[in-house]
C-alpha cells in the first residue's frame, strides 16, 4: 500500500508533536520541521504529498515560504494554519499559492477532513479520470497528465487551479454559485469565510489563463450568483 507523506512545518514543539501523533494514527507518514527554512529544504528534496504550513514561524512568515515553494515548482497541496479571525493571513495565503486553510484552534477531525479532501482532489480523482482531452477556447486540458496547454506552452497551474478549470469545462455556460464550486473543487463544508477561497483562486486562475485578466473572456463573473465559463 502506498504511504501518503505529509510534511508539517510548525514551530510549536508540543502542537507539532500532537499533530504528528494524530495523523500517524491514520497511517500517514509525518515529518515535522520547526522552521520555514528546514521545511522548505525538506519539501524540495523529498517532495511530500501534502504540506501543512503554519503562518507564524520563527524565521519568517509561512506566507513567504509558501510563495517560494510555488516559485520553485512545488505543486502539492499546501494547507495553511492561521490564527483565529486573522482574515488577512487567509486571503494572502490563498493568493501566494495555498490550497486551503484551517483556523486555530482546530480539531483533529476538521484537519483530517481538509487533508483528505485535498489529497483526494489532488491525486485520487485526477489519477482515475480517463485519458481524454477537454478544450476551452485555445486551451487544451489533458486530464490524464493534469496539464493545460496553449499551443506548445504549458500553463503552470496548481492542483486546485487545475481542478477548478476542469470543473468549469464540465459545465460550460452554466452559472455556478460559490457554494457549488467550493463543494465540487474543495470537497468540504461551506462557511461564510471559505467563499473567499473561491474568489481568490478564480483570480489566480484568470491571471494564468486569460490574455488580459482585467477583462476576462473565459471565466466570467455572474453578479449575485458566482461565475460561469463563457461558451
pLDDT band at 191 (very low <50, low <70, confident <90, very high): low
pLDDT in tens, 103-140: 888 888 889 988 988 887 777 644 333 345 787 888 88
pLDDT for position 124: 61
pLDDT in tens, 199-217: 999 999 999 999 999 999 9
Assess whether 10 and 121 both reside in one domain.
yes
Cα angle for residues 164, 10, 186 (degrees, 5° grid)? 15
Assess whether 33 and 16 both reside in one domain.
yes
Query: Which set of grid coordinates corresponds to residue 86?
Result: 486573522
Instruction: Tell which wins on pLDDT, 65 or 196.
Output: 65
- Work out how many domains the chain is built from and give that number: 2
Q: 213 in helix, strand or coil?
A: coil
For 11, the domain range is 5-125
Task: Return the closest-CA partner of residue 188 out of 99, 84, 124, 81.
Answer: 99
33: CATH: 3.40.50.2300
pLDDT higher than threshold 90 for residue 30? yes
Q: Decide: 105 and 85 in contact? Cβ < 8 Å.
A: no
Over residues 186-194, the mean pLDDT reads 65
pTM of the model: 0.60
Q: What's the sign of the alpha-carbon dihedral 223, 159, 62, 109?
A: positive
Amino acid at each position: 500500500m502506498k504511504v501518503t507523506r505529509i510534511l508539517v512545518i510548525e514551530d510549536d514543539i508540543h502542537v507539532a508533536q500532537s499533530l504528528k501523533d494524530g495523523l500517524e494514527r491514520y497511517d500517514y507518514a509525518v515529518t515535522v520541521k520547526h522552521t520555514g527554512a528546514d521545511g522548505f529544504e525538506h519539501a524540495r528534496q523529498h517532495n511530500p504529498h501534502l504540506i501543512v504550513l503554519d503562518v507564524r514561524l520563527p524565521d519568517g512568515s509561512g506566507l513567504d515560504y509558501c510563495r517560494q515553494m510555488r516559485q520553485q515548482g512545488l505543486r502539492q497541496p499546501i494547507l495553511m494554519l492561521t490564527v483565529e479571525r486573522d482574515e488577512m493571513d487567509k486571503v494572502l495565503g490563498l493568493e501566494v499559492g495555498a490550497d486551503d486553510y484551517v483556523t486555530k484552534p482546530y480539531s483533529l477531525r476538521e484537519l483530517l477532513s481538509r487533508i483528505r479532501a485535498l489529497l483526494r482532489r489532488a491525486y485520487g480523482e485526477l489519477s482515475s479520470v480517463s485519458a481524454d482531452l477537454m478544450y476551452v477556447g485555445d486551451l487544451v486540458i489533458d486530464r490524464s497528465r493534469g496539464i493545460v496547454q496553449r499551443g506548445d506552452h504549458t500553463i503552470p497551474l496548481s492542483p486546485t487551479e487545475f481542478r477548478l478549470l476542469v470543473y468549469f469545462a464540465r459545465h460550460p455556460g452554466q452559472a455556478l454559485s460559490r457554494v457549488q464550486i467550493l463543494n465540487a473543487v474543495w470537497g468540504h463544508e461551506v462557511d461564510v469565510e471559505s467563499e473567499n477561497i473561491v474568489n481568490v483562486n478564480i483570480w489566480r486562475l484568470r491571471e494564468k489563463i486569460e490574455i488580459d485578466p482585467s477583462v476576462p473572456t473565459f471565466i466570467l463573473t455572474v453578479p449575485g450568483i458566482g461565475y460561469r465559463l463563457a461558451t
